Protein backbone atom coordinates (compact mmCIF):
# COMPACT_ATOMS: atom_id res chain seq x y z
CA UNK A 1 0.00 0.00 0.00
CA UNK A 2 1.61 3.31 -1.02
CA UNK A 3 1.91 5.86 1.73
CA UNK A 4 1.31 9.53 0.90
CA UNK A 5 4.59 11.42 0.81
CA UNK A 6 2.99 14.59 2.17
CA UNK A 7 3.64 13.37 5.71
CA UNK A 8 7.42 12.97 5.29
CA UNK A 9 9.30 16.00 6.57
CA UNK A 10 12.18 17.07 4.30
CA UNK A 11 15.64 17.47 5.73
CA UNK A 12 19.22 18.17 4.72
CA UNK A 13 20.52 14.67 5.49
CA UNK A 14 19.43 11.74 3.36
CA UNK A 15 17.50 9.03 5.19
CA UNK A 16 20.29 6.62 4.28
CA UNK A 17 22.91 8.85 5.90
CA UNK A 18 20.79 9.10 9.02
CA UNK A 19 20.43 5.32 9.30
CA UNK A 20 24.21 4.90 8.88
CA UNK A 21 24.73 7.32 11.75
CA UNK A 22 22.05 5.59 13.82
CA UNK A 23 23.93 2.33 13.28
CA UNK A 24 26.86 4.07 15.02
CA UNK A 25 24.44 4.98 17.84
CA UNK A 26 24.12 8.67 16.96
CA UNK A 27 21.17 9.90 19.04
CA UNK A 28 20.90 13.18 17.14
CA UNK A 29 20.58 11.32 13.83
CA UNK A 30 17.87 9.14 15.34
CA UNK A 31 16.01 12.24 16.51
CA UNK A 32 16.17 13.69 13.01
CA UNK A 33 14.96 10.47 11.40
CA UNK A 34 12.18 10.21 13.98
CA UNK A 35 11.01 13.78 13.35
CA UNK A 36 11.12 13.28 9.59
CA UNK A 37 9.16 10.02 9.54
CA UNK A 38 6.94 9.87 12.63
CA UNK A 39 3.90 11.50 11.00
CA UNK A 40 4.15 9.28 7.96
CA UNK A 41 4.50 6.10 10.02
CA UNK A 42 1.76 7.14 12.46
CA UNK A 43 -0.62 7.84 9.54
CA UNK A 44 0.21 4.47 7.98
CA UNK A 45 -0.44 2.64 11.24
CA UNK A 46 -3.65 4.59 11.92
CA UNK A 47 -4.91 3.58 8.50
CA UNK A 48 -4.02 -0.06 9.11
CA UNK A 49 -5.56 -0.18 12.58
CA UNK A 50 -8.54 2.06 11.90
CA UNK A 51 -7.66 4.83 14.34
CA UNK A 52 -5.07 6.43 16.59
CA UNK A 53 -5.73 4.62 19.88
CA UNK A 54 -3.73 1.50 19.06
CA UNK A 55 -1.38 3.33 16.71
CA UNK A 56 0.58 5.12 19.46
CA UNK A 57 2.26 2.06 21.00
CA UNK A 58 2.79 0.49 17.58
CA UNK A 59 4.50 3.67 16.33
CA UNK A 60 6.77 3.59 19.38
CA UNK A 61 7.64 -0.03 18.71
CA UNK A 62 8.51 0.74 15.07
CA UNK A 63 11.06 3.39 16.01
CA UNK A 64 12.59 1.29 18.77
CA UNK A 65 13.00 -1.48 16.20
CA UNK A 66 14.61 0.97 13.75
CA UNK A 67 17.13 1.87 16.46
CA UNK A 68 17.85 -1.77 17.21
CA UNK A 69 18.09 -2.92 13.57
CA UNK A 70 19.98 0.05 12.09
CA UNK A 71 23.35 -1.75 12.27
CA UNK A 72 21.92 -4.48 10.01
CA UNK A 73 20.50 -2.10 7.40
CA UNK A 74 22.25 -2.23 4.00
CA UNK A 75 21.83 1.10 2.22
CA UNK A 76 23.34 -0.31 -1.00
CA UNK A 77 20.41 -2.66 -1.54
CA UNK A 78 17.56 -1.31 0.60
CA UNK A 79 15.52 1.90 0.66
CA UNK A 80 15.12 3.45 4.11
CA UNK A 81 11.52 4.54 3.65
CA UNK A 82 10.52 1.12 2.34
CA UNK A 83 12.37 -0.52 5.25
CA UNK A 84 10.67 1.60 7.93
CA UNK A 85 7.21 1.30 6.37
CA UNK A 86 7.68 -2.48 6.13
CA UNK A 87 8.52 -2.58 9.85
CA UNK A 88 5.39 -0.49 10.49
CA UNK A 89 3.22 -2.77 8.36
CA UNK A 90 4.49 -5.85 10.19
CA UNK A 91 3.97 -4.26 13.62
CA UNK A 92 0.44 -3.14 12.67
CA UNK A 93 -0.39 -6.64 11.40
CA UNK A 94 0.92 -8.11 14.67
CA UNK A 95 -1.30 -5.71 16.63
CA UNK A 96 -4.34 -6.60 14.53
CA UNK A 97 -3.73 -10.30 15.08
CA UNK A 98 -3.39 -9.70 18.81
CA UNK A 99 -6.59 -7.64 18.92
CA UNK A 100 -8.44 -10.30 16.93
CA UNK A 101 -7.36 -12.93 19.44
CA UNK A 102 -8.47 -10.73 22.37
CA UNK A 103 -5.03 -10.91 23.97
CA UNK A 104 -2.66 -8.09 23.33
CA UNK A 105 0.90 -9.07 22.45
CA UNK A 106 1.98 -5.58 23.46
CA UNK A 107 0.64 -5.02 26.96
CA UNK A 108 0.72 -1.80 28.96
CA UNK A 109 3.99 -2.65 30.70
CA UNK A 110 5.74 -3.30 27.42
CA UNK A 111 4.25 -0.12 25.91
CA UNK A 112 5.66 1.85 28.83
CA UNK A 113 9.04 0.23 28.42
CA UNK A 114 9.08 1.12 24.70
CA UNK A 115 8.00 4.64 25.56
CA UNK A 116 10.94 5.17 27.87
CA UNK A 117 13.39 3.43 25.56
CA UNK A 118 12.31 5.70 22.71
CA UNK A 119 12.57 8.77 24.95
CA UNK A 120 16.07 7.73 26.02
CA UNK A 121 17.19 7.34 22.42
CA UNK A 122 15.71 10.72 21.54
CA UNK A 123 17.42 12.23 24.59
CA UNK A 124 14.21 13.67 25.98
CA UNK A 125 11.48 13.05 28.47
CA UNK A 126 8.48 11.13 27.16
CA UNK A 127 6.17 13.65 25.49
CA UNK A 128 3.97 14.39 22.52
CA UNK A 129 1.46 11.65 23.23
CA UNK A 130 3.88 8.92 22.14
CA UNK A 131 5.29 8.28 25.58
CA UNK A 132 2.86 8.26 28.46
CA UNK A 133 3.53 5.44 30.90
CA UNK A 134 6.50 4.61 33.16
CA UNK A 135 8.62 1.53 32.50
CA UNK A 136 7.73 -1.65 34.34
CA UNK A 137 9.52 -2.24 37.63
CA UNK A 138 11.54 -5.37 37.98
CA UNK A 139 11.20 -7.18 41.28
Judge if pTM exceeds 0.75.
no
Q: What is the pLDDT of residues 11-62, one digit of tens each?
A: 678 999 999 999 999 999 999 999 999 999 999 999 999 989 889 999 999 9
The total of other beta-carbon atoms located within 10 Å of residue 13's CB is 14
Q: Is residue 45 part of a domain?
A: yes
Q: Where are the alpha helices (DSSP H) in 24-138?
A: 27-49, 55-69, 80-100, 108-122
The CATH number of residue 55's host domain is 1.10.1740.10
What is the extent of the structural domain holding 40? 12-122
Among 128, 109, 104, smallest CA distance to 49 is for 104
Q: Is residue 90 part of a domain?
A: yes
Amino acid sequence: MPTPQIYAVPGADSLSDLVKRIADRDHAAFGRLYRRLVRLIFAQICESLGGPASAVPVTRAVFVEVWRLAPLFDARRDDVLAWVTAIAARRAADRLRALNHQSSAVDTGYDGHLSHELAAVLGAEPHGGLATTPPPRLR
